[in-house]
Amino acid sequence: MEITGLVYKILPVQSGTSARGEWQKREIIVEQTDDFNRKVCVTFFGDKAADAANLREGDKVSISINVESREYNGRWYTNVNAWRINPTAAAAPAAPAAPVEEAPFKEPAMPASADDVDDLPF
């Protein structure tokens, strides 16, 4: 799946140690710029946390994600994990439209001789 929007907020890096070793993650809030302006918390885990460090609030991004739910003690938790991020260029402001100049009206050319005149209406 892919989410496109503006970086709304960048949360601080979280880190710790588990049975598998040290880990770190960074979460960012992305505001989707569609009809409803929804906000989604996206997690960058491990090496991807460094990719999120280059972002600034207000940057326009496109993020490839995986959505995963898991159960813990009878409750379900959903994670939105990023696996690729692409900064997108901000939309350039539209240039003002140039005034349209109309071509001057030209008189229809008259036939050179009476033989060139066609009197038929069709």
Statement: residue 1 has pLDDT above 60: yes
Which CATH number is 2-87 given?
2.40.50.140
Domain layout of the chain by residue ranges? 2-87
Instruction: Decide the pairing of beta strands 75-87 and 60-72.
Output: antiparallel
Q: Which of 65, 37, 39, 38 is nearest to 52 (CA)?
A: 65
Tell me the pLDDT tens digit for each residue of 42-98. Answer: 999 988 888 888 889 999 999 999 999 999 999 999 999 999 998 886 544 444 555
Helices within 1-122 (DSSP H only):
48-53
Q: Which of 78, 83, 46 is nearest to 63 (CA)?
A: 83
CA-CA distance, 85 to 92, in Å (whole number)? 21
Question: Which pLDDT does position 93 carry in this prediction?
Answer: 45
Q: What is the mean pLDDT of the chain?
A: 82
Instruction: Decide the pairing of beta strands 75-87 and 14-18.
Output: unpaired
